[in-house]
């Protein structure tokens, strides 16, 4: 659970730093970038594709915009680095984020991180295609049928 | 009826255990009220004014007798012996204890039911024609497509945290019994030139504070694209719908702000990325689901025209019931029966455990063990042999389910209102009851003909007041309950939104006001003209004038029978 990255809400980009998008664009080398959940995937997607880390801020539990952004970065802009969720996050929500392509979550403590891992593994199957499951079950007859 | 396979069953069972763990963590103080709120909403649990309320999903209004008995048992075990049929074809119970809700969900899962996404800002239960699969005027059976969309929308990774709740309705018959013009997405299914189903999409309709009729954004979509096209709409909404103001967060506001043309263009652009992708539905999957909805093995019956004529002649009450509560079936010798829950003195949609058990029995004795719930909050027996209609009528009457008022004034749509709901400005059930008490003369009701009165206790419009021929909305005026009345709304194919008559009224005056509106109608109607058409023809002004006392109706010009009142007007003014 140790984090090799330091996220700065404001400030310059540098190696090991996750910086806001505007700062990151000036000095992307070795740096990560963070964006708000309502960032335009069409604008940032092509630019951040090569970043080692993209962090997406979720301003509230109920705000699902970052889920669409994550899914788009993964499926449409080919982002393969670390996709990190931070902000107002509870363990139960990480499962949605995980299915939308996030693979790192900033949670308040180790206990919550363990709950999150349990949440992510709880459901065996899902009805839809997602970043984690590129084909819906009806395209995979063996998983769908009893 | 869709039958769960091992995948579906495991899914609901795991979802129950997930919720059990969430409840445990909440009770242990590991989740705050606000955090747990969002999780319980997605399993249908509200904390209401008096007690929690659990909303049980009845996908597109379809139930088996076994499921209905299980619901009766749940109200016996965990509740006070009654349940409420909602305007989204769901079932609500009003007194479950928060800590036992996981047990209720487990009981539901045993009969292939759940409470998933019956509340919260997510895709809600998909509704359709309560006569789907049996209606004489049906073009395509919508149920397999509703099920396909139910599965797609269940626990969707990207669309469970939308700006606001999201309601989809489907119609596939000549008449629109699903109110598709006033839904976030309304889908009309019809037959294409090649005989294959084609889907028309209306988007951005809705009631609430800003009632809007949906805009047609796509015509003739073939079935395999259904899910990818929905995904495109939902993605545009999830990304761009407003989240700063819950009253402006529904998709209708986004569609209007962008204009329907630009919204469509954006959806099309998104869809270009998704179409023909992995979520394109293969024909085998459509056939798999369709196989659950194969027509029952009907007997070769003939229409019982003569028998029914004799029975109707012998019993005027049965005659009235036949006229209003029985719809034509696509098979000869069968009929579709609506059992009205709207008995005077009972909140619309409330049903007891005994009634639920009785309806389950009727469905098995006089059908194939299936029941529907309509968005008008009634039960439907979809496959009654015509020769048994009289027996069904008599048995239903013993259970206070024989009211012959379907589609008439006393068959009101009504939300739970201020008695139960913490959002309401005003009570709605007592209004419904006062109207039912005032107008309980069947002859007068039949003379008035088709008349929808829809009552909502607040702007959220759960009682669909905008599309009632007469709509009643509870409003709060400096802490007092008042009621605003509109006329001319309609939920059917030629949908329209009601226009507000004028300043609102005190609760005690509402039956009088309805009386005055009806007097203007009776005075002005042409031969056989229903209320809605008269309103459309003569406009709102004559009604306004009479209701607000500017002019009295010209009594000498009445056509047809004069309205019969329970009490003379002078007495009704008291209080």
Distance from CA of B127 to the nearest CA of A (A): 19
Q: Residue B118 falls within a domain, yes or no? A: no
Answer whether B5 sits within 8 Å of A125, measured CB to CB.
no
Closest to B285 (Cβ–Cβ): which among A71, A124, A138?
A138
Task: Report the pLDDT averaged over residues B505-521.
Answer: 92
Chain mean pLDDT for chain B: 91
pLDDT at B50: 61
pLDDT at A146: 43
Q: What percent of chain B has pLDDT over 90?
A: 76
Is the distance from CB of B79 to CB of B107 less than 8 angstroms? no
Neighbours of B564 (CB within 10 A): 10
Residue B345 maps to which CATH number? 3.90.480.20
**Which of A40, A42, A58, A62 to probe the B interface (max B CBs under 10 A)?**
A62
Is the distance from CB of B53 to CB of B125 less than 8 angstroms? no
Task: Report the pLDDT averaged over residues B225-235.
Answer: 98
pLDDT at A142: 59
Is the distance from CB of B9 to CB of A146 less than 8 angstroms? no
Residue of A nearest to B38 (CA): A62
pLDDT at B339: 97
Quick check: B209 pLDDT over 80? Answer: no
Distance from CA of B175 to the nearest CA of A (A): 32
- Quick one: B376 and B515 in the same domain? no
Q: What is the pLDDT of residues B346-357, one digit of tens each?
A: 888 999 999 999
Answer whether B162 sits within 8 Å of A64, measured CB to CB.
yes
Q: Residue B93 falls within a domain, yes or no? A: yes
Answer whether A67 sits within 8 Å of B161, measured CB to CB.
yes
Q: Residue B192 falls within a domain, yes or no? A: yes
- Burial status of residue B273 (CB atoms within 10 A of its CB: 0-12, 13-18, 19 or more): middle
- Quick one: B320 and B366 in the same domain? yes
Q: Which of A142-146, B31-35, B157-161 is least confident?
A: A142-146
Q: Residue B411 falls within a domain, yes or no? A: no
Delineate the domains of chain A, giving CATH numbers in brackets. Answer: 6-121 (3.40.50)
Give B203-240 as a 3 state SS string.
ECCECCCCCECCEEEEEEEEHHHHHHHHHHHHHHHHHH
- Quick one: B234 and B310 in the same domain? no
Residue B141 maps to which CATH number? 3.30.413.10
Is the distance from CB of B476 to CB of B457 less than 8 angstroms? no
Answer whether A62 sits within 8 Å of B25, measured CB to CB.
no
> Pick from B350, B346, B353: which is nearest to B378 by CA?
B350
Going by pLDDT thresholds of 50, 70 and 90, the confidence category of residue B572 is: very low
Q: Residue B190 falls within a domain, yes or no? A: yes
Q: What is the pLDDT of residues B264-274, one digit of tens each?
A: 999 999 999 99
- Quick one: B554 and B439 in the same domain? yes
Going by pLDDT thresholds of 50, 70 and 90, the confidence category of residue B575 is: very low
Q: What is the pLDDT of residues B282-311, one digit of tens each?
A: 999 999 999 999 889 999 999 999 999 999
Quick check: B556 pLDDT over 80? Answer: no
Q: Residue B316 falls within a domain, yes or no? A: yes
What are the distances in angstroms from CA A37 to CA A54, A120, B25, B163? 11, 21, 28, 13
pLDDT at B554: 39
DSSP symbol at B379 = E
- Burial status of residue A33 (CB atoms within 10 A of its CB: 0-12, 13-18, 19 or more): buried
User: Which residues from chain A sit within 8 angstroms of residue B288, using beta carbons?
Assistant: 138
pLDDT (tens, 9 = 90+) of chain A, 146 residues, equals 578 899 999 999 999 999 999 999 999 999 999 999 999 999 999 999 999 999 999 999 999 999 999 999 999 999 999 999 999 999 999 999 999 999 999 999 999 999 999 999 999 999 999 999 999 999 986 555 44
Q: What is the pLDDT of residues B391-416, one digit of tens each?
A: 999 999 999 999 998 988 888 888 88
Quick check: B567 pLDDT over 50? Answer: no
* Contacting residues for B418 by C-beta, under 8 A, at least 6 apart: B49, B424, B425, B426, B427, B428, B457, B474, B481
Answer whether A126 sits within 8 Å of B157, measured CB to CB.
yes
Identify the domain boundary among B94, B110, B126.
B110
State how far the Cα of A6 lies from the Cα of A30, in Å rounded to an integer: 12
Chain mean pLDDT for chain A: 94
Is the distance from CB of B117 to CB of B42 less than 8 angstroms? yes
Q: What is the pLDDT of residues B67-92, one digit of tens each?
A: 999 999 999 999 889 999 988 889 99
pLDDT at A122: 93
Q: What is the pLDDT of residues B411-445, one digit of tens each?
A: 888 888 888 787 888 899 889 988 888 887 767 88
B397 interfaces chain A, CB cutoff of 8 Å? no
State how far the Cα of B288 lies from the Cα of B286, in Å rounded to an integer: 5
Task: Report the pLDDT averaged over residues B20-31.
Answer: 96
Q: What percent of chain B has pLDDT over 70?
A: 95
Q: What is the pLDDT of residues B107-149, one digit of tens each?
A: 999 999 999 999 999 999 999 999 999 999 999 999 999 999 9
B286 interfaces chain A, CB cutoff of 8 Å? no
Quick check: B231 pLDDT over 90? Answer: yes
Classify the complex by whether its ipTM is higher than 0.90, answering yes or no: yes
> Pick from B411, B434, B423: which is nearest to B456 by CA?
B423
pLDDT at A144: 54
Q: Residue B517 falls within a domain, yes or no? A: yes
Give A110-132 as a 3 state SS string.
HHHHHHHHHHHHCCCCCCCCCCC
User: Which residues from chain A sit within 8 angstroms of residue B15, using beta carbons?
Assistant: 123
* Contacting residues for B555 by C-beta, under 8 A, at least 6 apart: none
pLDDT at B439: 84
> Pick from B207, B145, B194: which is nearest to B172 by CA?
B145
Quick check: B532 pLDDT over 60? Answer: yes
Q: How many domains would you assign to chain B? A: 4
Answer whether B161 sits within 8 Å of A63, measured CB to CB.
yes
Task: Output the DSSP codes for B90-142.
Answer: -EEES---GGGHHHHHHHHHHTT---TTSSSSSB---EE-TTTTTBTTBSS--
Is the distance from CB of B451 to CB of B534 less than 8 angstroms? no
> Pick from B272, B271, B254: which is nearest to B210 by CA?
B254
What are the distances in angstroms from CA A88 to CA A37, A66, A101, B506? 12, 12, 18, 45
- Quick one: B265 and B330 in the same domain? no
Q: Residue B182 falls within a domain, yes or no? A: yes
- Quick one: B282 and B312 in the same domain? no
- Quick one: B240 and B164 in the same domain? yes
State how far the Cα of B415 lies from the Cα of B427, in Å rounded to an integer: 9
> Pick from B103, B136, B515: which is nearest to B327 by CA?
B136
Expressed as residue numbers, the domain containing B340 is: 305-398
Answer whether B14 sits within 8 Å of A71, measured CB to CB.
no
């Amino acid at each position: 659970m140790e984090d090799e990255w330091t996220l700065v809400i404001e400030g310059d980009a540098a190696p090991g730093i996750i910086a806001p998008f505007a700062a990151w664009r000036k000095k992307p080398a070795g740096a990560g970038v963070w964006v708000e959940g309502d960032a335009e995937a069409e604008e940032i997607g092509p630019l951040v594709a090569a970043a080692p880390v993209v962090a997406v801020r979720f301003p509230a539990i109920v705000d699902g915009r970052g889920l669409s952004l994550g899914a788009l970065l993964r499926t449409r802009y080919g982002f393969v680095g670390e996709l990190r969720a931070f902000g107002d996050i509870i363990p139960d929500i990480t499962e949605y984020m995980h299915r939308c392509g996030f693979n790192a979550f900033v949670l308040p403590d180790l206990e919550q991180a363990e709950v999150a891992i349990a949440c992510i593994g709880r459901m065996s199957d899902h009805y839809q295609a997602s970043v984690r499951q590129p084909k819906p079950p009806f395209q995979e007859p063996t998983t769908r049928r009893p | 009826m869709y039958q769960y396979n091992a995948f579906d069953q495991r899914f609901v069972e795991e979802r129950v255990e997930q919720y059990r763990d969430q409840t445990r963590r909440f009770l242990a103080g590991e989740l705050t009220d606000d955090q747990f709120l969002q999780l319980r909403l997605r399993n249908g649990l509200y904390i209401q004014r008096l007690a929690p309320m659990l909303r049980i999903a009845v996908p597109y209004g379809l139930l088996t007798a076994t499921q209905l008995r299980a619901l009766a048992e749940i109200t016996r075990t965990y509740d006070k012996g009654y349940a409420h049929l909602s305007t989204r074809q769901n079932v609500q119970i009003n007194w479950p204890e928060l800590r036992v809700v996981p047990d209720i969900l487990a009981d539901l899962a045993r009969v292939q039911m759940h409470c998933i996404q019956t509340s919260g800002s997510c895709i809600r239960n998909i509704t359709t024609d309560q006569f789907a699969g049996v209606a004489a005027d049906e073009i395509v059976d919508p149920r397999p497509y509703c099920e396909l969309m139910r599965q797609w929308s269940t626990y969707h990774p990207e669309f469970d945290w939308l700006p606001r709740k999201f309601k989809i309705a489907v119609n596939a018959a000549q008449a629109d019994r699903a109110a598709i013009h006033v839904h976030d997405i309304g889908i009309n299914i019809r037959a294409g030139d090649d005989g294959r189903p084609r889907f028309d999409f209306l988007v951005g309709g809705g009631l609430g504070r800003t009632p809007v009729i949906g805009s047609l954004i796509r015509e003739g979509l073939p079935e395999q694209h259904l899910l990818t096209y929905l995904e495109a709409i939902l993605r545009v909404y999830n990304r761009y719908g407003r989240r700063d103001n819950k009253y402006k967060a529904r998709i209708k506001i986004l569609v209007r702000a962008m204009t329907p043309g630009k919204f469509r263009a954006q959806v099309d652009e998104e869809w270009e990325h998704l179409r023909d992708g992995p979520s394109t539905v293969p024909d085998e999957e459509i056939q798999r689901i369709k196989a659950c909805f194969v027509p029952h093995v009907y007997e070769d019956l003939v229409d019982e025209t003569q028998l029914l004529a004799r029975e109707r002649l012998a019993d005027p009450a049965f005659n009235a019931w036949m006229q209003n509560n029985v719809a034509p079936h696509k098979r000869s010798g069968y009929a579709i029966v609506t059992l009205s829950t709207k008995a005077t003195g009972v909140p619309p949609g409330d049903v007891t455990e005994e009634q639920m058990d009785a309806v389950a029995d009727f469905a098995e004795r006089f059908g194939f063990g299936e029941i529907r719930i309509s968005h008008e909050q009634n039960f439907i027996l979809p496959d009654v042999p015509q020769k048994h209609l009289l027996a069904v009528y008599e048995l239903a009457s013993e259970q206070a389910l024989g009211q012959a008022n379907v589609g008439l004034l006393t068959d009101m749509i009504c939300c739970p209102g201020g008695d139960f709901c913490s959002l309401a400005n005003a009570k709605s059930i007592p209004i419904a009851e006062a109207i039912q008490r005032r107008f309980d003369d069947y002859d007068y009701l039949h003379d008035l003909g088709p008349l929808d009165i829809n009552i909502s206790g607040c702007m959220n419009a759960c009682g669909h007041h905008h599309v009632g021929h007469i709509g009643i909305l509870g409003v709060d005026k400096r802490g007092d309950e008042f009621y605003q009345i509109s006329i001319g709304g309609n939920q059917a194919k030629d949908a329209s939104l009601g226009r507000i008559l004028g300043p609102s009224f005190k609760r005690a005056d509402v039956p009088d006001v309805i009386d005055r509106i009806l007097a203007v109608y009776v005075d002005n109607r042409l031969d056989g003209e229903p209320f809605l058409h008269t309103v459309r023809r003569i406009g709102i002004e004559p009604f306004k004038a009479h209701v607000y006392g500017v002019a009295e109706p010209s009594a000498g010009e009445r056509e047809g029978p004069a309205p019969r009142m329970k009490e003379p007007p002078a007495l009704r003014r008291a209080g």
